[in-house]
Structure 1
Amino acid sequence: MTSCVDHMLDMELASPLGERILVPTQLLYRSQDPLAVQLLFQDGLQGLVPWVFARDLLAAGTRTLSGDGDVQVWPDGFGREALLHLLPSSPHGSAHLTTPLPAIERWLHCTYQLVPAAREIEALDLETHLAQFLDGAT
């Protein structure tokens, strides 16, 4: 049984000087962590830089401005030319990334085929997560 859905794509990073830099990005969804999505950015200096946030935030961001914390997502345009804007931020700074919206929508569709929204809690292995948490607390 498939337990993850991944996809490689290029995101465009808008630099402070207005340059557009292509950032190879892996989209990763695992059924073992059904509420989260991971974006793994290829950084020439640090290797893979992961960013983890809620799958429902990304899905909502394909339709309207979503997120009021360290990740904001919103669509721009229509049809094949539509873009998805992603604005992750941290104490170290923020980035403004764009990528084709249809590619994100197709990938999200695959994640919902693996674990439908109504079944996320069933797929969440709470006992394992709790054991890992308690092991770390001792």
Structure 2
Amino acid sequence: MRQHPARAAHEDPVVLTTTILVTVGGDPPVTLPAELRYSSTDPYAVCLSLGAPSAVPVEWVFARSLLADGLRRPTGSGDVVVAPPCRCRPGTARVLLRTRHGAAVLDVAACDVSAFLHRADALVPPDTEHRHIDLDHVVGRLTAGSG
């Protein structure tokens, strides 16, 4: 049995609720509510939830390190690419989300993302994520369908 680090009461998920500017194709940008979430129960990942108040949110899960590195330099080569503030929208980080159906460019306040990552790093410092993985739970989920 693997020992797990003590969980303090302050270890609730880290959440950033904000609005972002979404551009799809040649359409005019649209402002949408968004939420970034981070939890020590999935220590390598952040979840980005997008959605209009009347719609079911769309969620993207990607590496916390991708988001952090993207604030300093363009990072990513797959479905998610993150880039630091540029002259076209100063003060905003840019997230490019791609699917086989198209792509969307999201502009979010870089200072908000930085503050979110600072809180996530306080919860689980970078390079210590492996200490927060519940291997018994992971193995149990992987083997639940076998038998």
Structure 1 residue aligned with 2:141: 132
Q: 1:38 aligns with which of 27, 30, 47?
A: 47
Alpha carbons 1:43, 1:49 under 8 Å: kept: no
Q: 2:13 aligns with which of 1, 4, 17?
A: 4
Structure 1 gaps of 5+ residues are: none
Q: 1:83 aligns with which of 82, 87, 92?
A: 92
Q: What is the deviation of 1:10? A: 0.6
The structure with the largest strand share of the pair is: 1
Structure 2 residue aligned with 1:56: 65
Q: CA RMSD in A?
A: 1.7
- Structure 1 pair 23–118 and aligned structure 2 pair: CA distance change class (3 A): same
Identity across the alignment (%): 30
Task: Output aligned runs, 1:66-81, within 5 Å.
Answer: 66-77=75-86, 81=90
User: Alignment partner of 1:118: what SS?
Assistant: coil
Aligned equivalents of 1:46, 1:82: Cα separation in 2: 28
Aligned equivalents of 1:132, 1:117: Cα separation in 2: 25
2:103 counterpart letter in structure 1 = S
Alpha carbons 1:25, 1:42 under 8 Å: kept: yes
Q: What is the deviation of 1:137? A: 4.5
- Structure 1 pair 123–98 and aligned structure 2 pair: CA distance change class (3 A): same
> Are 1:96 and 2:118 counterparts?
no
Aligned equivalents of 1:3, 1:69: Cα separation in 2: 30
Instruction: Determine which structure has more spread, i.e. the larger CA radius of gyration.
Output: 2
Structure 2 gaps of 5+ residues are: 1-8
